[in-house]
Structure formats: structure tokens, C-alpha cells
Amino acid sequence: MSENFSPRPQSSPASHPDAAVPSLPIKGRYRVLKALSHDGRTVLALDEDTPSQSFCVVRSRDRRRGELPLPYPVLMRWEQLADHPHLPSLLAAFDDESSQYLVDEYIHGKTAEEYLQLQGAWTEAQIRQLLNQILPTLRDLHDRQLLHRDIKPQNLIQRDGQWILVDLSALHCTATPSGPDAEALSGSAEYAAPEQIDGHPGPSSDLYSLGATCIHLLTGQSPFDLYDDRQGTWHWRDRSRVSITPQLTRVLTRLLHPDLNQRYQSADAALADLNRFDLPINWDALLVLRPLSGLLAASFALTLLQFWGQQAPQLRLNGESASPSLNSAPNPSRDKTLPRKGSSGPRVETLSQGTHAIWSLAVSRDGSIVSGRGDGSIEIRPSNGSAPIEFQAHPEAVFSVAISPDGTILATTGNDKAIKIWDMQRGNLLATWHGHYDNVHHLEFSPNGEILASASRDGSVKLWDVIDRFNSPLRDRNSTPRHSLNAHNGEVHSLAFSPNQRFLITAGADGKVHLWDWKTGQYLRGLVSSSSEIWSVAVSPDGETLATGSKDGTVQLLSLRSGRRLRENSLHRNAVVSLAFSPFPVSSTLGSEYLLASGDVHGDIILMPTESGSLNPITSHQGWVSFDFSPDGQFLISGAYDKALKAWTMNHLIH
């Protein structure tokens, strides 16, 4: 049957007034809510045949306009990617006499273009995050002989902190022959590679489009305006609004090379260059890193926002005084830089040697450092270099601190059993929640920042609505959690959210690790059953690997999907109380792999590459240690009972 499209405007501000929208449900099932494209051939719809009446996107490909339907092999390959964390699932495909209809998962969030309009030019950290999530996605498409062919800022949507590559309606299977005319019409011209415009796209054409997207986000200008046709050269570096490192410049330059033979031939090659240190990593030096003498100046917090690329400041080291010298950047408020790779200096610096033990620590996405201390106080070291903020949060030790993904909210807990919510910028108390009848061990925000999870000695895990509480002018002081999860026999030590799924992982004194759907509170399955108490858990940034730390000193790596054990080490001699994955993979002889940091109650830290598994201890602290990676992955920030706050420079772990 042919759908009846009537040209009437939609009332929603997000719809397109000149779009044609169907007056009847498509196929008698998909009720259109609004048009998502100007021509009305991409619409947001409600699937009325599902019990949940879920949202979906319906796209029509009109043969009368010369749009060829996606062939069966392409649809089959797309369907096989249904569980991919960075691609929408194909829900249905059907035809009538004039069109093919594709129904895919609706991704709710802002596009990369919308973030550019709202926040201005992107930073290097944002570009790296995008590349580190989308390059593996392109690898997965290309491994299945699929080309996206329409990568642009409008087709990248961020959901729960993860970038999703949407609109797969231009998918092409390289194993399926097709006419060159159809190829030439696919994609957006300003982001399309020269060979794609000529009708001969390949895997590196998608890489070119991703590179063109990145330079648009860095400059705010169309790729058409950044390319000189007469000279055949790009001029985006001169127009970038932020400073970027030579390493990222090299990666983008090669992604955008007009000569197909000079461009990256695979997404893996680009990913390896993106995360490669200037020199190959010496895993044997991952290492016995002994803390060296010397204090890093208080202005170190200034360096936590971005990457290397400027001359490192000369600091007071080994008792000798030197004048600070930090090269200026175009935007002083955003472009603070880390010390340049290869610069001289110690592998570790002490940021502070306080008067109280550090019980908990977290680093925000902008590089601000929060530490919870033994006297119940909190110290916030802002990334913009302003003076530290200190305030009393709890009567005694602060057991856990957590920072919301947007960096605006701080959650703390201590031995008073209370959970307190603070304004991260000012240190003002926003709310106090009571719901546990014993101490709370661990706090963690969901990837979208809407939920706070708390793990307690009382054996329960509670999920709290963060956003709704702040809509109440009374700051409800006796809150009721959204869900209370009870599956452990004994205290719950730790928890972690999977960054790209709806999973919550909890671990406890019963040696069990459980998997939950945090949006519904539903128990899914058990992952681990150990004879030793599980004291810590963490999930890799790609959502694939789960790490557990036990009371007996064992660290395990498991597949989060299957629960299969991948690797184990028993180098710790004491309970493993802290785990953290590096935010980005690094390059090794085995390809790209994450670093896992594990710390125990005696202050020892071990760094382990997740694939190669080689490891060595760091003698860094004395007593219980807590740590977190800086947002760019180049520093590990640690604090412990010995009252020291330290920064370990990851780029020194090289030949």
C-alpha cells in the first residue's frame, strides 16, 4: 500500500514546517509524531504494536526519486549489528509499490552539530572521545563489508555520554555490485571524499568524512571553506579556535588526505596512531615507578584540561627555584596544556602533602580533582586554576565521592550514613538523603547523570533520582530512592555503571558480582561467585570488560557480555580496594588496549594492559589508596592514608 502524505505543518518546534507527514499510521502500525527531515521522508514514530509503544525512526527510500532500496545482504548485515553500542538497531524493513521503508531505533540526544552551536568550538579532548568511539564503530562496519557513506555532524548523536552514528539509510555493501551513478549521489558533498563523489567509495571514504566532521567541529566552518581547490590543500589548522597537539594534527591530516593512497587504509590504523605515544611503550617499564622527590607547584591544576603541545612550566624541584614559564594559548580559559611528551622531569609529582588522610578521590571530565579526607572535609581543585574549595561535608571520614558527568554536581558520603549532594562550583549543599541504615561504601552516577547509585554496608544498593530532586524547591531531605536492590548476602562494597549499556554491576562481601538493569531495577544475572570478598569493580570505557578486585589480592578481567574470565593476576598481597581503566586505549604490540590501574590497602598500585597482561607494581603510597585517571588519560591522580596527593605521568612509561 502507498502511504498518504499530506503537507501540513507540525506543532512541535523540532519538526519541519515544510515537511509532508503521513495522515495515517505507516503500515497500520507506526504512528507518526513529527517529521525529522524537511522533505518528511524521515519521521519520528510510535510503534503501536509493541507493549511499550516505543519510539522509532521510519525512513522511506522513494524509487521514483531514483533512491535504490537497500538490498537484502545490506539489511542482513545491519541486523547482525543489533547490539552494537554505537549504532542504532534495524527494527524492520518493508516495501510498497514505490518505496522501501526502514524502521530503526530512535536515539534520543543532541547531535554533534547541536553541541557545536550550543558550546562553541570543540576541544581536543572532545574530538579524541569522538574518534575513540566512532573509529571502532567504522571498523565493525567495514569488517562486515559495509560503508556508511553519510558521516557528518548531524548524524552523530550523544546518548548517555556515548556517541552513536545514526542514519544508516545510505549503507552500501562492497560485496554487492551497484551502478556508479547511485554511488555518486550518496552522502553529503561537503563531507564526502573525492573518490566517493566520483562514485567509487571505499572504507577510507568513511574515514575522510569523519575527519571532515572533526575539523568542522574544531573550527565551526564548512569543510568547503577550509579547502583550497586551486592548491589542493587544507587550511583548517589556521582557523581552529582551540590549540591541538601535533599528534592529533597528524591524525586528522592523514584522515583528510585527498590522495586515497596517502590516507589511512583502515579505522584500526587511525585508532592506533591516535592513541600511540611518541615512542613505543616499554611494558617492562610499566613499572617499578618509584616516587621521586620534589613538589609540583600548586598551579598544577591548570594543566589538567588538555594535552601536551606547549612548553611545560619550570617548577621548583629538588630545592631549586625557577620562574614559571607557560606559553600562552588562544583561549586561556580553555586551553591549559599538559607538559609536552618527552619533556624532562620526574615520573611522579606530589600535588600536596596534607594533614589528613585521603579516603576517596575523583577527577571530573574537565580535570578538576576532588578528594574526601579523614576529618570529613572535601577539597576541590578546579581545573581552571582558581583557588581550591574546602568545606566540611561529614563529621568524620568521607568514604566516597562521585562527580556527575557534566561536572556540576558532587555527591559524598561518610560514616554518618547520609548521602549529600553539593554544587560542584561553589561547594554549597543542595540536598541530604537518608535511606541506608548503615555506612555507605560507594557512590556512582549513571552515564546520563540522572541517577545516583549507592552501595551500603546494610547489604542494599539504592538508586536515587538526581534530576527530580533538584526540581523540588525544598531539596527533599528525607528522600525515597527510585529502586532498592537486594541480592547480596552481606555488605555491598562497590558498584559500577556500564558506559554504553543499561547495566549496573554490584559486588559484595559474599563474593558475588551481580548484573542489573539500572533503569528498571531488574535483576539480570550473576556474573561472579568467588570464595573471597569482592571489594572493587570497574568497567572499561568501551563497555566490554569488567574488572574485579578481591580481598585476597586477586584482580580478574571478565567479558561483561558472556561473563567469561579473560585474565587474572595475584600480584597484590592485600585487599584490592580501587580499580580504574584509562579513558582511552593506548597502542602496544598487540594493537590498542586499555590500562587497568589497581590499588590495595597497603598503597601499592599495579598498571596492567588489558590485552597483553604484563604488569609490575608501583610503590607509591602507604595505606589505603584511591585514584582516578585524568580525562585525557595522561595522568593517574592518587591519594591515600599517607595524606599525599600525587600525579603519575603516563607518558614517561616509554623507552
Query: Catalytic residue positions?
Result: 150
Q: Which residue has the cell 572533526?
A: 214
**DSSP at 144:** T
User: Distance between CA atoms of 438 and 54, rounded to whole angstroms?
Assistant: 39
Taking alpha carbons only, the member of 382, 338, 359 closest to residue 636 is 338
DSSP 551-599: TTS-EEEEETTT--EEEEE---SS-EEEEEE-SS-EEETTEEE-EEEEE
Three-class DSSP category at 135: helix
Cβ atoms 623, 631 nearer than 8 A = no
If phi > 0 it is left, if psi is from -120 to 50 it is alpha, else beta; for residue 78 that is alpha
User: Distance between CA atoms of 58 and 90, rounded to whole angstroms?
Assistant: 10
Q: How far is CA 325 from CA 303, 337, 382, 514, in A?
A: 13, 12, 21, 51
Q: Which segments of 279-406 are extended strands (E)?
A: 348-353, 358-363, 369-373, 377-381, 389-392, 398-403
> Which residues lie below 8 Å from residue 383, measured CB to CB, with a gap of 6+?
301, 302, 304, 305, 336, 364, 366, 367, 368
Q: Where are the alpha helices (DSSP H) in 362-449?
A: none
User: Distance between CA atoms of 253 and 653, rounded to whole angstroms?
Assistant: 27
- The DSSP bridge partners found for residue 529 are 512
User: Distance between CA atoms of 260 and 634, rounded to whole angstroms?
Assistant: 32
User: Distance between CA atoms of 197 and 82, rounded to whole angstroms?
Assistant: 30
DSSP 154-207: GGEEEETTEEEE---TT-EETTS---HHHHHTSS-GGGS-HHHHTT---HHHHH
> Which residues lie below 8 Å from residue 422, measured CB to CB, with a gap of 6+?
378, 391, 393, 409, 410, 411, 412, 428, 429, 430
Cβ atoms 600, 552 nearer than 8 A = no
Residue 76: φ, ψ to 5°: -65, -45
Show the 3-state SS of 66-83. CCCCCCHHHHHHHHCCCC
Which secondary structure element, helix H or strand E, spans residue 138, and what is its range? helix 124-143
Residue 303: φ, ψ to 5°: -90, 0
User: Distance between CA atoms of 573 and 328, rounded to whole angstroms?
Assistant: 46
Taking alpha carbons only, the member of 312, 313, 316, 317 closest to residue 293 is 317
Instruction: Give the three cell numbers for residue 235.
Output: 587550511
Instruction: Give the three cell numbers for residue 226.
Output: 577550509
Residue 116: φ, ψ to 5°: -65, -45
User: Distance between CA atoms of 484 and 269, rounded to whole angstroms?
Assistant: 45
Burial class of residue 50 (count of CB atoms within 10 Å of its CB; 0-12, 13-18, 19+): exposed
In residues, how long is the chain? 655
Taking alpha carbons only, the member of 201, 230, 235 closest to residue 218 is 235
